[in-house]
Structure 1
């Protein structure tokens, strides 16, 4: 596996990770809100 292929793979991985983390952050915010709400009751 050449360096070029490795860099391309890393770039694609970074883009996917950013998209996933954006969705994950929204879900995480909802989960944290729910957990906090449960603890407050």
Structure 2
């Protein structure tokens, strides 16, 4: 997966997360992004 595509994916998800889920804690976002990176590294 190209780096620019992954970066764009994270930006889009981050913006969507902020727009739609203001109640979601930032720690949840960090946990999700860390899990995603770990899964991709293992794939």
TM-score by length of 1: 0.49
* Structure of greater relative contact order (alpha carbons < 8 Å, 6+ residues apart): 2
Q: Which has the higher helix share?
A: 1
Larger-gyration structure (1/2): 1
TM-score by length of 2: 0.47
